[in-house]
Amino acid sequence: MSAVLIDGKARAAALRTEVAGGVAQFVATHARAPGLTVVLVGDDAASAVYVGAKGKATREVGMISTEHRLPATTPEAELLELVAQLNADTAVDGILVQLPLPAHIDADKVIAAIDPAKDVDGFHPINAGKLAIGQPALVPCTPSGCLLMIREALGNISGAEALVIGRSSIVGKPMAALLTAASATVTIAHSRTRDLAAHVARADIVVAAVGVPHLVQGAWIKPGACVIDVGMNRITLPSGKTKLTGDVDFDGAVARAGWITPVPGGVGPMTIACLLANTLKAATARAAA
């Protein structure tokens, strides 16, 4: 048996087209385009690439993209002041402060300063709390994208055994909340979990969000399971070249799973598409308020 590949690129393209349609409608109704502002502090190369990709995708769906690139030495107070200005700016519907921030800045403090109605990353404690208690919220983009792909593969997941590996606030915890809201039976595994293999073997759905290359072995996968690999690990090959790889041993898992996401080309593209969807959602909610 060979798993069906879940094509994140194609699914993301479809979602971006859907968002572009919503943006056109928004413009026709409100005579302005939704605006997403991204703030980058410092010169982390990977972050700069992500910010560039987010800006391009934002413009492509007809939204206004604004970027603030600040030096690594920016004082925390100055960043908080910029966030306050963006909160007050009526043309800004979404604010995203690219993580990680330099060590002298308290990321939690900055996230908490963002207006929850503009928190398109879904990291503000108010949005995290609403998601946890099942109220409508801006939901973190990566787990939102994972859920869309799981639903596309499996349809109704009520009662399914779901295993989320990783308990970060960005991926693992919100993923578990979304799966719980979709009526799956959810287990969260983490660095202290005993016998990860046994948990994986029971799961109809496995979401791996750890950051350890090939942690999840193919032989552990329950035959027919849906495997979502969030991991993005850059490894060096014997040739000296580097490549991106996931948390799942793809070659082993593809022989047992029913559906599987590749890395790259799976979760990554969906994350940006969900950011655009969140920005349109925030703009629509603000316009109706």
Residues noted as catalytic: 54, 98, 121
Q: How far is the CB of 268 from ligand NAD (least distance, A)?
A: 4
User: Would you count residue 242 as binding ligand NAD (CB under 6 A)?
Assistant: no
User: Would you count residue 190 as binding ligand NAD (CB under 6 A)?
Assistant: yes
User: Would you count residue 172 as binding ligand NAD (CB under 6 A)?
Assistant: yes
Contact stretch for ligand NAD (CB under 6 A) within 27-35, 62-70, 155-163, 210-218: 210-218
User: Would you count residue 268 as binding ligand NAD (CB under 6 A)?
Assistant: yes
User: Would you count residue 171 as binding ligand NAD (CB under 6 A)?
Assistant: yes
Single out the residue of 58, 74, 142, 245 in contact with ligand NAD (rule: CB under 6 A).
Answer: 142
Q: How far is the CB of 208 from ligand NAD (least distance, A)?
A: 8
Single out the residue of 39, 114, 175, 196 in contact with ligand NAD (rule: CB under 6 A).
Answer: 196
User: Would you count residue 47 as binding ligand NAD (CB under 6 A)?
Assistant: no
Peptide bond into 100 cis (omega under 30): yes
Cβ nearer to ligand NAD, comparing 79 with 274: 274
Contact stretch for ligand NAD (CB under 6 A) within 51-59, 107-115, 118-126, 263-271: 263-271
Cβ nearer to ligand NAD, comparing 81 with 106: 106
Restricted to residues 73-102, the positions that interact with ligand NAD (CB under 6 A) are: none
Single out the residue of 147, 200, 230, 275 in contact with ligand NAD (rule: CB under 6 A).
Answer: 230
User: Would you count residue 165 as binding ligand NAD (CB under 6 A)?
Assistant: yes
Quick one: three-class SS letters along the chain? CCCEECCHHHHHHHHHHHHHHHHHHHHHHHCCCCEEEEEEECCCHHHHHHHHHHHHHHHHCCCEEEEEEECCCCCHHHHHHHHHHHHHCCCCCEEEECCCCCCCCCHHHHHHHCCHHHCCCCCCHHHHHHHHCCCCCCCCHHHHHHHHHHHHHHCCCCCCEEEEECCCCCCHHHHHHHHHHCCCEEEEECCCCCCHHHHHHHCCEEEECCCCCCCECHHHCCCCCEEEECCCEEEECCCCCEEEECCECHHHHHCCCCEECCCCCCHHHHHHHHHHHHHHHHHHHHHHC
Cβ nearer to ligand NAD, comparing 191 with 242: 191
Q: In Å, what is the CA distance from 163 to each residue of 123, 184, 265?
A: 22, 10, 22
CA 118 to chain centre: 16
User: Would you count residue 167 as binding ligand NAD (CB under 6 A)?
Assistant: yes
User: Would you count residue 170 as binding ligand NAD (CB under 6 A)?
Assistant: yes
Closest by CA to 164, choosing from 190, 144, 145, is 190
Single out the residue of 38, 189, 206, 277 in contact with ligand NAD (rule: CB under 6 A).
Answer: 189
Binding site for ligand NAD (CB under 6 A): 142, 165-168, 170-172, 189-191, 193, 196, 209-212, 215, 230-233, 267-268, 271
